[in-house]
Protein backbone atom coordinates (compact mmCIF):
# COMPACT_ATOMS: atom_id res chain seq x y z
CA UNK A 1 0.00 0.00 0.00
CA UNK A 2 2.67 2.49 1.09
CA UNK A 3 4.81 1.43 -1.90
CA UNK A 4 1.95 2.12 -4.31
CA UNK A 5 1.37 5.58 -2.80
CA UNK A 6 5.06 6.45 -3.21
CA UNK A 7 5.07 5.27 -6.83
CA UNK A 8 1.94 7.26 -7.66
CA UNK A 9 3.46 10.43 -6.16
CA UNK A 10 6.69 9.83 -8.10
CA UNK A 11 4.60 9.63 -11.27
CA UNK A 12 2.82 12.91 -10.40
CA UNK A 13 6.13 14.73 -9.75
CA UNK A 14 7.54 13.37 -13.03
CA UNK A 15 4.52 14.69 -14.94
CA UNK A 16 4.98 18.14 -13.38
CA UNK A 17 8.69 17.96 -14.34
CA UNK A 18 7.61 17.33 -17.94
CA UNK A 19 5.42 20.44 -17.80
CA UNK A 20 8.38 22.46 -16.52
CA UNK A 21 10.62 21.07 -19.29
CA UNK A 22 8.01 22.31 -21.78
CA UNK A 23 8.23 25.78 -20.17
CA UNK A 24 12.06 25.75 -20.28
CA UNK A 25 12.07 24.90 -24.00
CA UNK A 26 9.13 27.10 -25.04
CA UNK A 27 9.38 30.02 -22.55
CA UNK A 28 9.39 33.26 -24.55
CA UNK A 29 11.71 35.23 -22.21
CA UNK A 30 14.76 34.36 -20.12
CA UNK A 31 13.05 34.95 -16.69
CA UNK A 32 10.42 32.32 -17.62
CA UNK A 33 13.19 29.78 -18.13
CA UNK A 34 14.95 30.75 -14.88
CA UNK A 35 11.77 30.34 -12.83
CA UNK A 36 11.06 26.99 -14.54
CA UNK A 37 14.59 25.76 -13.76
CA UNK A 38 14.19 26.84 -10.10
CA UNK A 39 10.93 24.89 -9.83
CA UNK A 40 12.64 21.90 -11.47
CA UNK A 41 15.23 21.99 -8.69
CA UNK A 42 12.44 21.85 -6.09
CA UNK A 43 10.85 18.92 -7.95
CA UNK A 44 14.21 17.12 -7.99
CA UNK A 45 14.33 17.52 -4.19
CA UNK A 46 10.88 15.92 -3.98
CA UNK A 47 12.01 13.04 -6.22
CA UNK A 48 15.11 12.43 -4.06
CA UNK A 49 12.96 12.36 -0.91
CA UNK A 50 10.48 9.90 -2.47
CA UNK A 51 13.27 7.63 -3.77
CA UNK A 52 15.01 7.65 -0.39
CA UNK A 53 11.70 6.52 1.15
CA UNK A 54 11.30 3.82 -1.53
CA UNK A 55 14.83 2.50 -0.92
CA UNK A 56 14.33 2.82 2.86
CA UNK A 57 17.61 4.66 3.52
CA UNK A 58 18.46 8.00 5.19
CA UNK A 59 21.66 8.36 3.12
CA UNK A 60 20.11 10.83 0.65
CA UNK A 61 18.94 13.39 3.22
CA UNK A 62 22.18 15.42 2.93
CA UNK A 63 21.70 15.58 -0.85
CA UNK A 64 18.27 17.20 -0.34
CA UNK A 65 19.72 20.12 1.66
CA UNK A 66 22.64 20.37 -0.76
CA UNK A 67 20.34 20.59 -3.79
CA UNK A 68 18.23 23.27 -2.07
CA UNK A 69 21.32 25.41 -1.41
CA UNK A 70 22.67 24.93 -4.95
CA UNK A 71 19.39 25.78 -6.64
CA UNK A 72 19.06 28.93 -4.48
CA UNK A 73 22.59 30.12 -5.32
CA UNK A 74 22.08 29.36 -9.02
CA UNK A 75 18.81 31.26 -9.20
CA UNK A 76 20.28 34.27 -7.37
CA UNK A 77 23.28 34.32 -9.74
CA UNK A 78 21.08 34.12 -12.83
CA UNK A 79 18.67 36.82 -11.66
CA UNK A 80 21.59 39.12 -10.81
CA UNK A 81 22.98 38.55 -14.31
CA UNK A 82 19.60 39.42 -15.82
CA UNK A 83 19.28 42.59 -13.71
CA UNK A 84 22.80 44.06 -13.77
CA UNK A 85 24.59 42.29 -16.61
CA UNK A 86 27.44 41.05 -14.38
CA UNK A 87 27.34 38.42 -11.66
CA UNK A 88 30.21 39.47 -9.34
CA UNK A 89 30.93 43.19 -9.15
CA UNK A 90 34.31 44.67 -8.33
CA UNK A 91 32.94 47.60 -6.32
CA UNK A 92 29.20 48.20 -6.11
CA UNK A 93 29.48 51.83 -4.91
CA UNK A 94 30.97 53.05 -8.17
CA UNK B 1 21.20 54.00 -11.26
CA UNK B 2 21.55 52.61 -7.77
CA UNK B 3 19.65 49.39 -7.14
CA UNK B 4 18.41 48.53 -3.68
CA UNK B 5 18.93 44.85 -2.92
CA UNK B 6 18.49 44.83 0.87
CA UNK B 7 16.38 41.63 0.81
CA UNK B 8 19.14 39.71 -0.97
CA UNK B 9 21.79 41.09 1.41
CA UNK B 10 19.83 40.20 4.57
CA UNK B 11 19.06 36.69 3.29
CA UNK B 12 22.70 36.19 2.24
CA UNK B 13 23.95 37.15 5.73
CA UNK B 14 21.75 34.50 7.40
CA UNK B 15 21.97 31.81 4.72
CA UNK B 16 25.78 31.91 4.37
CA UNK B 17 26.09 31.15 8.12
CA UNK B 18 23.74 28.15 7.76
CA UNK B 19 25.65 26.90 4.69
CA UNK B 20 28.99 27.19 6.55
CA UNK B 21 27.56 25.19 9.49
CA UNK B 22 26.26 22.54 7.07
CA UNK B 23 29.67 22.33 5.38
CA UNK B 24 31.38 21.77 8.76
CA UNK B 25 28.78 19.09 9.61
CA UNK B 26 29.39 17.31 6.28
CA UNK B 27 33.17 17.57 6.77
CA UNK B 28 33.14 15.93 10.21
CA UNK B 29 30.45 13.37 9.27
CA UNK B 30 32.45 12.15 6.28
CA UNK B 31 33.84 9.07 8.02
CA UNK B 32 30.49 7.46 8.85
CA UNK B 33 28.01 9.05 6.40
CA UNK B 34 28.11 10.49 2.84
CA UNK B 35 30.23 13.62 2.54
CA UNK B 36 33.81 14.48 3.44
CA UNK B 37 36.40 17.10 2.61
CA UNK B 38 35.50 17.61 -1.04
CA UNK B 39 31.76 18.30 -0.65
CA UNK B 40 32.39 20.31 2.53
CA UNK B 41 34.95 22.50 0.76
CA UNK B 42 32.61 23.08 -2.17
CA UNK B 43 29.81 24.08 0.23
CA UNK B 44 32.08 26.49 2.14
CA UNK B 45 33.06 28.17 -1.12
CA UNK B 46 29.35 28.23 -2.00
CA UNK B 47 28.72 30.30 1.14
CA UNK B 48 31.47 32.75 0.13
CA UNK B 49 30.04 32.89 -3.42
CA UNK B 50 26.63 33.81 -1.96
CA UNK B 51 28.30 36.71 -0.08
CA UNK B 52 30.06 37.71 -3.33
CA UNK B 53 26.69 37.76 -5.13
CA UNK B 54 25.03 39.91 -2.48
CA UNK B 55 27.97 42.31 -2.00
CA UNK B 56 31.10 42.82 -4.12
CA UNK B 57 34.69 41.67 -4.27
CA UNK B 58 36.07 44.55 -2.14
CA UNK B 59 33.55 44.10 0.71
CA UNK B 60 34.07 40.32 0.88
CA UNK B 61 37.85 40.82 0.85
CA UNK B 62 37.39 43.15 3.85
CA UNK B 63 35.20 40.57 5.66
CA UNK B 64 37.48 37.58 4.91
CA UNK B 65 41.05 38.85 4.39
CA UNK B 66 42.35 35.49 3.10
CA UNK B 67 44.84 34.90 0.29
CA UNK B 68 43.26 31.80 -1.28
CA UNK B 69 46.50 30.76 -3.01
CA UNK B 70 48.11 30.46 0.46
CA UNK B 71 45.13 28.30 1.46
CA UNK B 72 45.94 25.86 -1.37
CA UNK B 73 49.58 25.66 -0.21
CA UNK B 74 48.57 25.15 3.44
CA UNK B 75 46.15 22.36 2.49
CA UNK B 76 48.76 20.52 0.41
CA UNK B 77 51.31 20.92 3.25
CA UNK B 78 48.89 19.44 5.81
CA UNK B 79 48.08 16.49 3.52
CA UNK B 80 51.77 15.71 2.86
CA UNK B 81 52.74 16.11 6.53
CA UNK B 82 50.03 13.69 7.73
CA UNK B 83 51.31 11.20 5.15
CA UNK B 84 54.94 11.72 6.15
CA UNK B 85 54.15 11.59 9.88
CA UNK B 86 53.72 7.81 9.59
CA UNK B 87 57.40 7.53 8.61
CA UNK B 88 58.41 8.73 12.10
CA UNK B 89 56.76 5.65 13.65
CA UNK B 90 58.46 3.15 11.29
CA UNK B 91 55.29 2.63 9.23
CA UNK B 92 54.82 2.98 5.43
CA UNK B 93 53.91 6.39 3.92
CA UNK B 94 50.21 7.33 4.36
CA UNK B 95 49.58 4.84 7.16
CA UNK B 96 46.71 6.14 9.29
CA UNK B 97 45.88 5.28 12.85
CA UNK B 98 43.11 5.97 15.32
CA UNK B 99 42.42 5.69 19.02
CA UNK B 100 39.74 6.53 21.59
CA UNK B 101 40.08 9.62 23.77
CA UNK B 102 37.99 11.28 26.46
CA UNK B 103 37.37 14.75 25.03
CA UNK B 104 35.97 17.27 27.57
CA UNK B 105 32.70 18.26 25.83
CA UNK B 106 32.18 15.36 23.40
CA UNK B 107 32.89 12.46 25.79
CA UNK B 108 34.34 9.14 24.57
CA UNK B 109 35.35 9.90 20.95
CA UNK B 110 37.37 8.12 18.27
CA UNK B 111 40.00 10.49 16.85
CA UNK B 112 41.46 9.43 13.49
CA UNK B 113 44.47 10.94 11.69
CA UNK B 114 42.56 10.64 8.38
CA UNK B 115 40.58 13.73 9.41
CA UNK B 116 43.80 15.77 9.15
CA UNK B 117 44.28 14.55 5.57
CA UNK B 118 40.64 15.46 4.90
CA UNK B 119 41.28 18.94 6.35
CA UNK B 120 44.00 19.36 3.71
CA UNK B 121 41.53 18.35 0.97
CA UNK B 122 38.96 20.82 2.39
CA UNK B 123 41.43 23.74 2.35
CA UNK B 124 42.66 22.93 -1.18
CA UNK B 125 39.10 22.71 -2.55
CA UNK B 126 38.09 26.04 -0.95
CA UNK B 127 41.29 27.69 -2.19
CA UNK B 128 41.05 26.42 -5.78
CA UNK B 129 37.34 27.26 -6.16
CA UNK B 130 37.68 30.76 -4.72
CA UNK B 131 40.84 31.48 -6.76
CA UNK B 132 39.03 30.53 -9.99
CA UNK B 133 35.93 32.61 -9.14
CA UNK B 134 37.90 35.66 -7.95
CA UNK B 135 40.18 35.63 -10.99
CA UNK B 136 37.21 35.47 -13.39
CA UNK B 137 35.27 38.13 -11.41
CA UNK B 138 38.16 40.61 -11.31
CA UNK B 139 38.90 40.68 -15.06
CA UNK B 140 37.12 43.51 -16.84
* Residues B77-91 pLDDT 10s: 999 999 898 888 888
How much is the ipTM here?
0.86
- Of B8, B35, B57, nearest to A76 by CB-CB distance is B8
φ, ψ of residue B103 in degrees (nearest 5): -85, 140
**B102 three-class SS:** strand
Look at B56 and A59 and tell me if their CB atoms are within 8 Å: no
Q: Which residues contact B40 (CB under 8 A, 6 or more apart)?
A: B23, B24, B26, B27, B30, B122, B125
Look at B22 and A80 and tell me if their CB atoms are within 8 Å: no
pTM: 0.88
What is the number of CB-based contacts under 8 A between chain A and chain B?
A: 53
State the Cα–Cα distance between residues A19 and B111, nearest whole angstrom: 50
CA distance A34 to chain B (A): 17
Q: Which residues contact B6 (CB under 8 A, 6 or more apart)?
A: none
φ, ψ of residue A89 in degrees (nearest 5): -85, 155
pLDDT given at position B140: 62
State the Cα–Cα distance between residues B115 and B119, nearest whole angstrom: 6
**A10 three-class SS:** helix
* Residues B86-135 pLDDT 10s: 888 888 888 888 888 888 877 888 888 889 999 999 999 999 999 999 99
The distance of Cα B73 from the centroid of its chain, to the nearest Å, equals 13
- Of B34, B43, B58, nearest to A90 by CB-CB distance is B58
Domain ranges of chain A: 1-84
Asked if B96 and B117 touch (Cβ cutoff 8 Å), the reply is: yes
pLDDT given at position B95: 87
Q: Among B11, B29, B58, which would you mutate to test the A interface (most chain A Cβ atoms within 10 Å of its Cβ)?
A: B58
The packing angle between helices B6-28 and B114-138, to 10°, is: 150
Measured distance between the N- and C-terminal CA atoms of chain A, rounded to whole angstroms:
62
pLDDT given at position B1: 55
Amino acid sequence: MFHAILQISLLCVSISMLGLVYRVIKGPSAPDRVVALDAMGINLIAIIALVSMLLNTPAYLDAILLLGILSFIGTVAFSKFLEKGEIIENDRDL
Amino acid sequence: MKTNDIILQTVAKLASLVILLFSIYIFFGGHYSPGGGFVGGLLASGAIVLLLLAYDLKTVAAILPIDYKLLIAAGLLIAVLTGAGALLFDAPFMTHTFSYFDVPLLGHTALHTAVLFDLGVYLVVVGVTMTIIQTIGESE
